[in-house]
């Protein structure tokens, strides 16, 4: 089992295991060794599930030996995020000190679907407390370090997931995206991250079945190739009767990516998404990568995005809506004996605590007013799509920031002299969580050795088209050999 195994595609690895070239147990043992060796340097995993992974791999081998039908992820190591993604019996800290020993008793629907497809769960990946900011750092596990420069952050909130994929610790990782939490770390870690249309992957949340609808928070995937991400996405996708916000089945299989996904497509390019300050070097890298879209057959024009408010005001809107979601989530934990806003309030990250306190003070009518502004964002994005099949922007305004040592790493407070919210304001991602459009971050190039991402946004519910367009870009501008050894 040589090092190339760790950067092999998930599609290829699944094929090798199915053919019997290598056993699922051998693969699991090799990747667990890789994680044990690399995690002290990267800090991507909060919990490594050695016993669970080996048990799952043995079941895969037993199924193959018995001639049973094998799932699409048969024997493939997969990491899951350390937030609400529950796997019964596995510690789930949410990046929160009061929950550092919390162990759920039930398994999330989409995690169960992964295991049903033959995925081998190797551990849980680091995230900021409840995913409240676009970097990964917390008081439980500390910062996740960027494989391209370990003095820098991986991005967040699915930062451990992206770093694990970039460092060859897993071929696939699951993430969630409520403001860019898949796309942000994908950009900083040089991997492909896709947030599907809201509802494409059912998420049964209780006690509130409508929890993830404001803003739209989607389960997503991180991988080193578009085909691998689509494989993971397809294993989790599908509706469920107990998720009233889930979409019907995709009209065509997500893993079957059609060729020529950009041929004749009209793409609208905005360097600033209608008013976000962006480092000119980042904008130049993204603009320079547009040639790959053209070589794939796309017609590119500049699009004028007219957002209804200043970017700083929109970041505050996102914080208010997320604060309400968090406040609702915490009431469910109180029922399990974890009163985070009571006796544990002093243990919380100050920015997260303040988001929840602010939400608790806000009236229902004020939240409805926020939804009106959110509606105006939706209208502005739909106006921008008029005449276009896809939109393209930088994923982020800056490259990866330096890590702090106190658990309080954030993004920048200014970009080009313009004030931005340090939690999310430097991310051109969260407007599409207001709207629910499918969106992905693709590796576009480097600045001083640090990755830069291009954000590709599809029309609502056109996940198949987004994956096909992403694959067409990848074919013209491959990035698979860019990862540090």
pLDDT at 485: 73
Q: Which residues contact 463 (CB under 8 A, 6 or more apart)?
A: 196, 197, 200, 233, 250, 254, 438
What does 131-182 look like in DSSP terms, one character per residue? G-SSS---TTT-PPEETTEEEEE--SSSHHHHHHHHTTS-SEEEEEESSSTT
pLDDT tens-digit series, residues 135-156: 999 999 999 999 999 999 999 9
pLDDT band for position 335 (cuts 50, 70, 90): confident
pLDDT at 372: 98
Judge residue 456's burial from the number of C-beta atoms within 10 Å of its C-beta, 0-12 exposed, 13-18 middle, 19 or more buried: buried
The mean pLDDT value of the chain amounts to 97
Superfamily of domain 3-476: Amidase signature (AS) domain (3.90.1300.10)
Separation of alpha carbons 154 and 184, rounded Å: 9
Q: What is the pTM of this model?
A: 0.98
Q: In this model, does residue 480 exceed pLDDT 60?
A: yes
Distances (CA, A) of 225 to 22, 192, 221, 392: 22, 6, 11, 19
Tokens representing 466? 């987004």
Nearest Cα residue to 404 out of 118, 144, 74: 144
Cis, bond preceding 157 (omega within 30 deg of 0): yes
CB 100 within 8 A of CB 81: no
Q: In this model, does residue 2 exceed pLDDT 50?
A: no
Distances (CA, A) of 298 to 33, 47, 59, 473: 43, 43, 45, 10
Residue located via tokens 């320079």: 288
Mean pLDDT of 96-121: 97
Q: In this model, does residue 1 exceed pLDDT 60?
A: no
Give the residue extent of every domain in the chain.
Answer: 3-476
Residue located via tokens 């991250």: 193
CB 455 within 8 A of CB 439: yes
pLDDT tens-digit series, residues 204-231: 999 999 999 999 999 999 999 999 999 9
| Percentage, residues of the chain above pLDDT 90 | 98
CB 162 within 8 A of CB 148: no
Separation of alpha carbons 258 and 194, rounded Å: 17
Nearest Cα residue to 193 out of 169, 228, 239, 235: 228
Q: Which residues pair with 450 in a beta bridge?
A: 447
Query: Catalytic positions, please?
Result: 81, 157, 181
Tokens representing 249? 């089945």
Mean pLDDT of 367-381: 97
């Amino acid at each position: 089992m040589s090092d190339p195994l760790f950067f092999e595609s998930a599609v290829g690895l699944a094929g090798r295991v199915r053919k019997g070239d290598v056993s699922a147990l051998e693969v699991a043992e090799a990747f667990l060794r890789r994680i044990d060796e690399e995690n002290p340097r990267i800090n991507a995993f909060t919990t490594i599930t050695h016993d669970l992974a080996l048990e799952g791999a043995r079941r895969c081998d037993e199924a193959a030996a018995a001639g049973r039908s094998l799932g699409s992820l048969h024997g493939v190591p997969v990491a899951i995020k350390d937030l609400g993604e529950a796997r019964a019996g596995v510690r789930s800290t949410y990046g929160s000190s009061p929950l550092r020993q919390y162990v759920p008793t039930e398994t999330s629907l989409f995690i169960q679907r992964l295991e049903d497809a033959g995925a081998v769960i190797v551990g849980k990946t680091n995230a900021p407390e409840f995913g409240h900011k676009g970097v990964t750092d917390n008081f439980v596990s500390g910062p996740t370090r960027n494989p391209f420069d370990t003095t820098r952050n991986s991005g967040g909130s699915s930062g451990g997931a992206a770093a694990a994929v970039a460092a060859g610790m897993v071929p696939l990782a699951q993430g969630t995206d409520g403001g860019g939490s898949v796309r942000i770390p994908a950009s900083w870690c040089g991997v492909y991250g896709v947030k599907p249309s809201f509802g494409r992957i059912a998420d049964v949340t209780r006690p509130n079945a409508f929890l993830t609808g404001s803003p739209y928070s989607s389960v997503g995937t991180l991988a080193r190739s578009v085909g691998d991400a689509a494989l993971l996405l397809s294993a989790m996708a599908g509706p469920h009767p107990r998720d009233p916000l889930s979409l019907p089945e995709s009209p065509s299989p997500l893993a079957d990516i059609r060729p020529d996904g950009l041929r004749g497509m009209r793409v609208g390019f905005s360097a600033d998404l209608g008013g976000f300050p962006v480092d000119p070097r980042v904008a130049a890298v993204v603009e320079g990568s547009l040639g790959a879209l053209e070589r794939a057959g796309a017609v590119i024009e500049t699009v004028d995005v007219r957002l209804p408010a200043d970017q700083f005001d929109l970041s505050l809107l996102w914080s208010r809506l997320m604060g309400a979601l968090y406040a609702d989530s915490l009431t469910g934990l109180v029922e399990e004996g974890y009163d985070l806003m009571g006796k544990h309030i002093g243990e919380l990250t100050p920015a997260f605590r303040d988001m929840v306190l602010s939400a608790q003070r806000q009236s229902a009518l004020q939240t409805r007013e926020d939804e009106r502004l959110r509606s105006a964002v939706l209208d502005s994005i739909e106006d921008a799509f008029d005449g276009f099949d896809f939109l393209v922007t930088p994923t982020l305004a800056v490259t990866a920031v330096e890590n702090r040592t106190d658990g309080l790493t954030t993004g920048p407070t200014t970009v080009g002299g313009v004030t931005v919210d340090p939690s999310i304001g430097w991310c051109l991602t969260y407007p599409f969580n207001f709207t629910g459009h499918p969106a992905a971050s693709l590796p576009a190039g480097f600045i001083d050795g640090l990755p830069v991402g291009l954000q590709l946004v599809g029309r609502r519910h056109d996940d198949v088209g987004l994956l096909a367009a992403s694959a067409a870009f990848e074919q013209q501008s491959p990035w698979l050999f860019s990862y540090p050894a």
